[in-house]
Amino acid sequence: MTRLPDFRLETYFSRWEFTARHHLTASDVQTMTMAELLSLAGEEDRRAWETLSLGYTETFGDPELRRVIAGTYTHADADDVICFAGAEEALYLAMQVLLEPGDHAVVITPNYQAAETVPLSLCEVTGVALDPQDDWALDLDRVAAALRPTTRVVSVNFPNNPTGKVIGAEDFARLAELCDERGIHLFSDEVYRGLERDTARTLPQAADLSERALSLNVTSKSLGLPGLRVGWIACRDRELRSRLERAKHYTTICNSAPSELLARIALRARDRILDRNRALIADNLPAFDAFFAEFDDLFQWRAPDGGCVAFPRYLGADGVEAFCTELVEQAGVLLLPASIYRSELTATPTDRFRIGIGRRDPQPALDTFAEWLRARR
Pairing of strands 151-157, 185-189: parallel
Residue 343 has pLDDT above 60, yes or no: yes
> What is the CATH architecture of 8-33+272-372?
Alpha-Beta Complex (3.90)
Q: Supply the mean pLDDT for the chain.
A: 97
Q: What is the mean pLDDT of residues 112-122?
A: 97
pLDDT at 214 over 80: yes
pLDDT tens digits along 285-312: 999 999 999 999 999 999 999 999 999 9
Instruction: Give me the count of residues in the chain.
Output: 377
Mean pLDDT (whole number) for 366-373:
98
3-state secondary structure of 41: coil
Average pLDDT over residues 29-56: 97
Q: Where are the domains of the chain?
A: 8-33+272-372, 54-270
Residue 249 has pLDDT above 70, yes or no: yes
What is the rounded distance in angstroms from the CA atom of residue 295 to the CA atom of residue 374?
Answer: 9
pLDDT at residue 41, as a whole number:
98
- Split at pLDDT 50, 70, 90, the class of 1 is low
| CA–CA gap between residue 196 and residue 274 (Å, rounded) | 10
Residue 292 is predicted with a pLDDT of 98
pLDDT at residue 173 greater than cutoff 80: yes
Domain 8-33+272-372 matches domain 54-270 at the CATH topology level = no
> Domain 54-270 belongs to what architecture?
3-Layer(aba) Sandwich (3.40)
CA distances from 290 to 61, 96, 263, 294, 303 (A): 45, 45, 36, 6, 12
Residue 3, pLDDT score: 86
